[in-house]
Amino acid sequence: MRSGIHPVSRPVVFRDRASGFQLLTRSTLDSRQTVEWEDGVTYPVVDVEISSASHPFYTGKSRVVDTAGRVQRFERRYGPTTAARG
């Protein structure tokens, strides 16, 4: 293996901004922000918008996002879905 061509991997905390969930793992990302982990060591922290703790697929809280009447346009074109019928 050639030396000097691989990125440096270090422990990094990924923090979900929506739910507050934190995960300590190894990554090549670096951050100026730091957080003290449960073991008392300070690690760089990377804030993410969504993770498995807040994603609708993993939490079971799915929602329909209606952008500019897309749902109504779909229902006019193809008819209402079974969930909309009642």
Q: What does the pLDDT profile of the chain (86 residues) look like in tens digits?
A: 788 898 999 999 999 988 889 999 999 998 999 999 999 999 999 998 888 787 766 666 766 565 667 777 788 888 876 665 55
pLDDT for 59: 67
DSSP bridge partners of 35: 43
pLDDT value at residue 38: 94
Global pTM reads 0.62
Question: And the tokens for 31?
Answer: 């951050």
Query: Can you say whether the dihedral through the CA atoms of 16, 17, 20, 22 is positive or negative?
Result: positive
